[in-house]
Structure 1
């Protein structure tokens, strides 16, 4: 009798472990189409998991919440825009969201000492930061002429 109970417990543990492995490592879809996914600053794990499930990036929002809790990543998920793929495993998605590998709209610029406004304006045009002389016009304008839209 004790042997049967032990075998049943072992089978249950193996079944639960198999489900865990399937949920963590198997992608929810075979589609290779990338999905833009954004996390708004202050979003909860519950909101993030529901949004991921809604766009088909994960199978179960509950399992996502459990996995994030199990890996102690609740506070590590970072706000931003991400490009994710339904072929990614849950483990990979959590690593990307916790690692903050978000898309960046920032561009590094280098203004060399000695450049005048026209040199800077040409640099901006060459690097597609400004397409016309708007930087030069703004830099040469009086401060009272600036119209800021905040």
Structure 2
């Protein structure tokens, strides 16, 4: 009779430990796989509502579509996209066309869009120099938002913005920070989505170079945008904005009041062709004829040119400017020169 095999206790324990380790490793790999799957199915940037145009030509294969989406920062992984589409049996159901897609969309949302074809898109434009209320009214006129809902959300809604803690509380917290531009949105896009999109655009425009310049000048974001908004409303010619910036910086440095007519118009709540001396006496924190320094916040939405100007004044010693009939301005270094310019151009 042959002897029975005998497993020594130490060997048995070692084998059992190896099996447990392998099982644990398998479970961890499985769980990691589930996590990665959920990650790959989710949006690349859930708070980025900026749309990217993706042009899918006829007879474009799934692999090429996946690469296009990946190159535009819309999906996490092109291989996973192909496997996911194949598993859903949608290889032959993705349609050619020009698509406006955003990194805030999940993988199933993008695939659904490609499967259904391009949605109708609406363009809207917000020009530089509008107040928050004017932006809301413009959006309503263009048929893309309800003005009251827009303003309520601008005051109370939850949004992602790097400088949220530096903004004033209340209905004017986003005054000046909804960046003026042309946008494209699908039909039915929400007011909250529009606000987040415009905030994201501001964040995109306000580059690292601007942040560095802001720190160099010893300013904060609210001060920069407030000054930029005054420049935007005062000066329409781009080449003159850096000169006006020099005027305002020089006056601030010398503790002189800004005396900006644009801030008076904001305080009045209307744009008057000619301001009266009585208008300059209006009691308001935005009256820069009565109050020192910058007003408490922006008076309009400045464009990139005005923001750049606010951060990059020229080295000129100008302290005054006056409008000419053709819309340009005369800049002066002394009060005497300024009075002469006023007599010449404001007769």
For Structure 1 versus Structure 2, the TM-score category normalised by the shorter chain is: 0.5 to 0.7
Unpaired runs of 5+ residues, structure 2, are 1-15, 122-347
Q: CA RMSD in A?
A: 1.7
| 1:36–1:84 CA contact under 8 A, matched in 2 | yes
Match of 1:28 among 20, 23, 44: 44
1:74 aligns with 2:107: no
The 5-angstrom pairing of residues 83-94 of structure 1 reads: 83-94=100-111
* In structure 2, C-alpha distance between the alignment counterparts of 1:38 and 1:11, rounded to whole Å: 40
The 5-angstrom pairing of residues 1-150 of structure 1 reads: 1=16, 2-25=19-42, 27-29=43-45, 30-100=47-117, 102-103=118-119
Q: Which has the larger radius of gyration?
A: 2
- Bigger relative contact order, structure 1 or 2 (CA pairs below 8 A, ≥6 apart): 1
| 1:80–1:103 CA contact under 8 A, matched in 2 | no
* In structure 1, C-alpha distance between the alignment counterparts of 2:23 and 2:40, rounded to whole Å: 26
* In structure 2, C-alpha distance between the alignment counterparts of 1:24 and 1:51, rounded to whole Å: 17
For normalisation by structure 1, the TM-score amounts to 0.63
Deviation for aligned residue 1:97: 0.6
3-state SS, counterpart of residue 78 of structure 1: coil
3-state SS, counterpart of residue 53 of structure 1: helix
| 1:24–1:89 CA contact under 8 A, matched in 2 | yes
Partner of 1:133 in structure 2?
none
* In structure 1, C-alpha distance between the alignment counterparts of 2:120 and 2:35, rounded to whole Å: 37
Segments ≥4 residues shifted beyond 4 Å: none
Deviation for aligned residue 1:4: 2.8
Equivalenced residue count is: 103
